[in-house]
């Protein structure tokens, strides 16, 4: 064989051997990479499962401040709002830990806003791989706050229950004494029915308020169409409005959704509407509107309930959300009010990460604004109809 040809063949064989070796090495690298990806996916699923079962609030934040995982306790603590970190102080801490790589252990404060309480979260913030950040938080002040609320609640409720129970006792005795007088029987039985209804409403609202003050106040969490909830509240309130000659007007309704408990939200808006009806004069009107708003880069839903009734003095506007506080005790008694409606609204707003505020002038009416975090997640595709 010619030496040149032999050299060419040898060179070709050498190239083939090198290529074969390269392919083997590359294949091993690809196999290792695939194994690493599968292991990472397994770890991610395991981490997600662990975080979702923790009793303390847990939040896993991605490299672009997006929410990767948040458990129910974290939602209750407002660690997350939709697809974003729940409040500015927490977001600042998350970014600092990501940038420095140093863990954080301490208290993170969400300052009080109108209709919300100051929240102090004992937080542990840890940097993870791929610029992710883990947040674990506990509201240590919760137990103390609940205990104080319970003490005040027992003191107030003992007084409030005595009034209708005493009235029912007196009316039943008067009814028995007037059994031979049909007109008196009709009068006393009508008043007895009103006091009984008021007592039943008071007990129902006590139950609602007690549940809202529990560790997990939401009975369910689902995607809620706010327009549908407003329609439900108007339907519940129509009879009372007709009795008082008050017109209910749904003025403006944006198509918006929130994440929360449908029936709690319906109760909150119903309480606002019925409160507006009770404090309005005959032939007045109550207006309800739903509007999508943006503030400081966040998206919210504002449900406004406006009336042209008696209004509220400035010094009373902060107190109206206290349990059993009444602006006009006589009117509240006449309408069957318990003094718990606005307190329930406030608790529902806070439970959903929102707030409640009021604008009012004596003699000009009032506007209550229930603000809720807008749902920022993906739009679910509609099912095909057959």
* Structure confidence by residue, pLDDT tens digits, 321-371: 776 666 554 444 454 455 677 888 888 888 888 999 999 888 888 999 999
**Is the pLDDT confidence value at 240 over 80?**
yes
- 267 closest CA partner among 227, 232, 316, 221: 232
Residue 98 is part of a domain; what is its CATH number?
Answer: 3.30.450.20
* Structure confidence by residue, pLDDT tens digits, 160-181: 676 677 777 877 878 788 877 8
Do residues 351 and 271 both lie within one domain? Answer: yes
Residue 216: its pLDDT value, please?
58
- Who contacts 166 (Cβ-Cβ below 8 Å, separation ≥6)? none
> Which of 34-38, 68-72, 252-256, 264-268 shows the lowest per-residue confidence on average (mean pLDDT)?
34-38
Do residues 360 and 225 both lie within one domain? Answer: yes
Question: Residue 95 corresponds to which tokens in the numbers above?
Answer: 């970014």
Do residues 132 and 155 both lie within one domain? Answer: no
Residue 228: its pLDDT value, please?
92
Residue 36: its pLDDT value, please?
41
- Among 139, 160, 183, identify where a domain stops: 139
Domain contains 2? no
Domain contains 55? yes
Do residues 235 and 351 both lie within one domain? Answer: yes
Residue 39: its pLDDT value, please?
38
Q: List strand residue ranges (DSSP E) for 226-363, in order.
A: 247-253, 257-260, 285-295, 298-307, 355-361
* Structure confidence by residue, pLDDT tens digits, 310-323: 888 887 877 787 76
Domain contains 172? yes
Do residues 246 and 340 both lie within one domain? Answer: yes
- Among 139, 170, 190, identify where a domain stops: 139
- Among 139, 172, 206, identify where a domain stops: 139
Quickly state the pLDDT bin for 100 (edges 50, 70, 90): very high
* Through-space distance between the first and last CA atoms of the chain, rounded to whole angstroms: 78
Do residues 87 and 159 both lie within one domain? Answer: no
Do residues 373 and 326 both lie within one domain? Answer: yes
Residue 265 is part of a domain; what is its CATH number?
Answer: 3.30.565.10
**Is the pLDDT confidence value at 206 over 80?**
no
Residue 9: its pLDDT value, please?
62
Report how many domains make up the chain.
Answer: 3
- Who contacts 347 (Cβ-Cβ below 8 Å, separation ≥6)? 209, 212, 213, 217
- Domain holding 179, by residue range, is 141-215
195 vs 327, more confident: 195
Quickly state the pLDDT bin for 282 (edges 50, 70, 90): confident
């Amino acid at each position: 064989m010619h030496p040149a040809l032999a050299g060419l063949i040898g060179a070709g064989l050498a190239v083939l051997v090198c290529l074969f070796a390269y392919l083997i090495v590359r294949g091993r690298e690809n196999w290792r990479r695939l194994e690493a990806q599968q292991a990472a996916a397994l770890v991610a699923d395991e981490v997600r499962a662990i975080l979702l079962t923790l009793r303390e609030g847990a939040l896993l934040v991605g490299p672009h401040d997006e929410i990767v995982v948040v458990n129910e306790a974290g939602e209750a603590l407002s660690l997350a709002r939709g697809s974003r970190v729940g409040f500015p102080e927490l977001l600042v801490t998350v970014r600092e830990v990501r940038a420095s790589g140093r863990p954080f252990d301490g208290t993170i404060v969400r300052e009080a806003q109108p209709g919300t309480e100051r929240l102090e979260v004992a937080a542990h913030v840890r940097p993870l791989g791929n610029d992710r950040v883990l947040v674990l938080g506990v509201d240590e002040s919760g137990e103390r706050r609940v205990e104080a609320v319970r003490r005040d609640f027992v003191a107030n409720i003992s007084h409030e229950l005595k009034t209708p129970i005493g009235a029912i006792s007196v009316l039943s005795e008067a009814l028995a004494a007037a059994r031979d007088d049909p007109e008196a029987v009709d009068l006393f039985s009508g008043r007895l029915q009103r006091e009984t209804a008021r007592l039943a409403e008071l007990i129902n609202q006590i139950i609602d308020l007690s549940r809202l003050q529990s560790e997990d106040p939401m009975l369910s969490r689902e995607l809620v169409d706010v327009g549908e909830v407003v329609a439900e509240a108007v339907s519940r309130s129509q009879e009372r409005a007709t009795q008082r000659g008050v017109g209910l007007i749904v003025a403006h309704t944006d198509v918006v959704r929130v994440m929360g408990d449908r029936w709690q939200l319906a109760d909150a808006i119903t309480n606002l509407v019925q409160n507006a009806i009770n404090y309005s004069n005959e032939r007045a009107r109550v207006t309800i509107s739903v509007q999508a708003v943006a503030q400081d880069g966040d998206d919210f839903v504002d449900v406004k309930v406006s009336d042209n009734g008696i209004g509220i003095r400035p010094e009373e506007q902060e107190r109206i959300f206290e349990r059993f506080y009444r602006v006009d005790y006589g009117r509240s008694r006449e309408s069957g009010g318990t003094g718990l409606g606005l307190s329930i609204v406030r608790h529902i707003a806070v439970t959903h990460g929102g707030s409640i505020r009021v604008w009012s002038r004596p003699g000009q009416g009032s506007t209550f604004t229930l603000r809720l975090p807008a749902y920022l997640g993906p739009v679910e595709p509609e099912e095909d109809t057959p």
